[in-house]
Chain A
Amino acid sequence: NAGVTQTPKFQVLKTGQSMTLQCAQDMNHNSMYWYRQDPGMGLRLIYYSASEGTTDKGEVPNGYNVSRLNKREFSLRLESAAPSQTSVYFCASSEIPDRAYGYTFGSGTRLTVV
């Protein structure tokens, strides 16, 4: 019962480098989300995909792009990393409209941009 799997778990980038964070879920959920978590600020939504084939901006989308590759996979791309993107990134999924079980989160990717 893997749930939501994120790769990599840790990454160090130099300013200006690009990378893609991968996320896959095996629960047949329709909706997937990318959040970042910074100290004292709570989780903030970057992008989400309500269903396969759709993506929408969240609260803090600047500097990021996403791809909903299929129903299972939702990737987050940083085209030109900046120190302000140092954070812990979480992917989550949910079965909408059933709100009773909240989101299922992955274990996160800790990204440092130097």
Chain B
Amino acid sequence: EDQVTQSPEALRLQEGESSSLNCSYTVSGLRGLFWYRQDPGKGPEFLFTLYSAGEEKEKERLKATLTKKESFLHITAPKPEDSATYLCAVQADNYGQNFVFGPGTRLSVLP
């Protein structure tokens, strides 16, 4: 069965303490892996798309990487404003143009 899982479920960091979030997937024919940020009471906001293993994308303190089975979102020297829930989603041959979302990782960065 196709699955998208994320770990950890929640993560608390001190400001400046770097860490990584994980997104693991078991799908056939990956066409793209997407990272979103979601603030409380808001809709998800698009961050990155990764298409193939070995690809990396960066934006400010965030860096996303992709292997054949998982993706990592690395957060370097986080600030309190990075606190949010981070969602990953995959697009695969079985789903046409649609995505399957993971449950998210809730990140809290303490000052």
A92/B43 in contact, CB under 8 A: yes
* Prevailing SS type, chain B contact patch: strand
A41–B103 touching, CB < 8 Å = yes
Given A41-B103, A42-B4, CB of A108 within 8 Å of CB of B41: yes
Given A43-B44, A43-B87, A107-B43, check contact A102 B101 (CB 8 Å): no
Using Cβ atoms and an 8 Å threshold, which residues of chain B touch A48?
Answer: 98
Is the beta-carbon distance between B43 and A102 smaller than 8 angstroms?
no
CB distance from A14 to the nearest CB of B (A): 24
Alpha-carbon distance A35/B100, docked complex (angstroms)? 11
Tell me whether A105 and B44 are in contact (CB under 8 A). Answer: yes
Measured in the bound complex, the distance between the Cα atoms of B34 and A41 in whole Å is 17
Interface residue range, chain B: 20 to 34
Query: Within 8 Å CB of A42, what residues of B?
Result: 4, 87, 100-104
Checking B31, B41, B43, B100 against A105 with a beta-carbon cut-off of 8 angstroms, the contacting residue is: B43
Q: Is A103 an interface residue (CB 8 A)?
A: yes
Q: In the bound complex, do residue A102 and residue B98 qualify as a contact, i.e. CB atoms below 8 Å apart?
A: no
CB-nearest residue of chain B relative to A106?
B43
A residues 75-106 near B (Cβ < 8 Å) are: 90, 92, 96-97, 99-106
Known: A4-B43, A43-B101; 9 extra A-B contacts, CB below 8 A, are: A42-B103, A43-B44, A45-B99, A50-B97, A90-B43, A102-B34, A102-B89, A103-B99, A104-B46
Chain B interface (Cβ < 8 Å from any Cβ of A): 4, 31-32, 34, 36, 41-46, 49, 87, 89, 91, 97-104
Report 5 cross-chain contacts, Cβ distance below 8 Å, ordered by A residue: A42-B87, A45-B98, A48-B98, A99-B31, A101-B49
